[in-house]
Homo-oligomer: A and B are copies of this chain.
């Protein structure tokens, strides 16, 4: 990837941006020197995670949010992230929104990102993609995840503010609680609020929040109807207020640094793992191999032994 391509992307050229995002998605990433430049220029955009169970209407709500944020004069990027395989879902929102009227607006950039390459690749690719969108001059980056679960929680952790989208019925509130998603939500949108049961869903969520309320800040709960736009302005206000208040009390910078630390450590873990898998001969000596072949030593125990060796040596060297 050339410096020139990066320069175009940072100047806001959509085609260049798309090409660089493909590089990041493929897992190869961009040359370290260029990524350092992207990093240096990032930190300005507000990153809003949008998550929730399938069927809650996330995609439609995101489309409505784009329109609302454009009315406020913001440049908006959407990164629709699908941690499941390329086969079982994914890449839907991006295509849908891209086809809408929005696609002709130069200040909107929509992109979906699926899990390619090895497991966990997306968890590392997503923050890099967000930084690139940020550095290219977007004011708001909406990170939409498909589904609710472990991976989505991990990706929501890229965000300054997490919006959880629920819909009346189907026990979504309870399910979300189980998955620990309620705990990471800053704003909760009970969407499809024109359906029967919306008030009940809001009450259920509020009750669940009271149960879990402790030291942490209680999330704002709103009713929205993405189709008609009802409540969407209030939703945008809620997350902007949330980011502003974090900025004022210094939490924003602190949380962002914590995320960067975590990302660096995750990356280190993945790199170590990859290198061990790439050079088995360096790690599996004859004695360990014999243990496996003769079934005297379980693979888990052999794995622990390899890890002990790798890190013991490194730990000794540390100051």
Contact = CB atoms under 8 A, between A and B. Distances in A.
Interface of A: 29, 32, 35-36, 38-40, 42-43, 53-54, 84-88, 115, 118-120, 123-124, 127-128, 147-152, 154, 175, 178-179, 257, 260-277, 280, 282-285, 288-289, 292-293, 295-307, 309-319
Contacts of A264: 284, 288, 292, 299-300, 302-303, 306
A37 to B, nearest CB: 9
Nearest to A38: B298
A35 B304 CA distance: 13
A260 B292 contact: yes
Contacts of A304: 32, 267-268, 271
Contacts of A152: 85
Given A147-B84, A276-B268, A39 B295 contact: yes
A10 to B, nearest CB: 15
Given A263-B299, A304-B267, A306-B265, A148 B36 contact: no
B283 A265 contact: yes
Given A263-B303, A299-B127, A84 B84 contact: yes
B265 A36 contact: no
Given A85-B152, A270-B273, A310-B311, 9 more contacts: A36-B298, A86-B179, A87-B147, A87-B178, A119-B120, A265-B284, A268-B276, A269-B276, A272-B272
Contacts of A154: 119
Nearest to A301: B32
B149 A88 contact: yes
A14 to B, nearest CB: 23
Nearest to A153: B85
A69 to B, nearest CB: 25
Contact of A310 (B147, B148, B257, B310): B310
A259 B18 CA distance: 39
Query: Most B CB atoms within 10 A — which of A128, A273, A302?
Result: A273
Nearest to A318: B282
B267 A303 contact: yes
Given A86-B179, A147-B87, A311-B310, A36 B268 contact: no
Contacts of A317: 309, 313
A283 B306 contact: no
Nearest to A294: B40
A156 to B, nearest CB: 13
Give the top 6 A-B pairs by smallest Cβ distance, nearest first: A85-B149, A267-B303, A269-B273, A268-B306, A271-B307, A264-B302
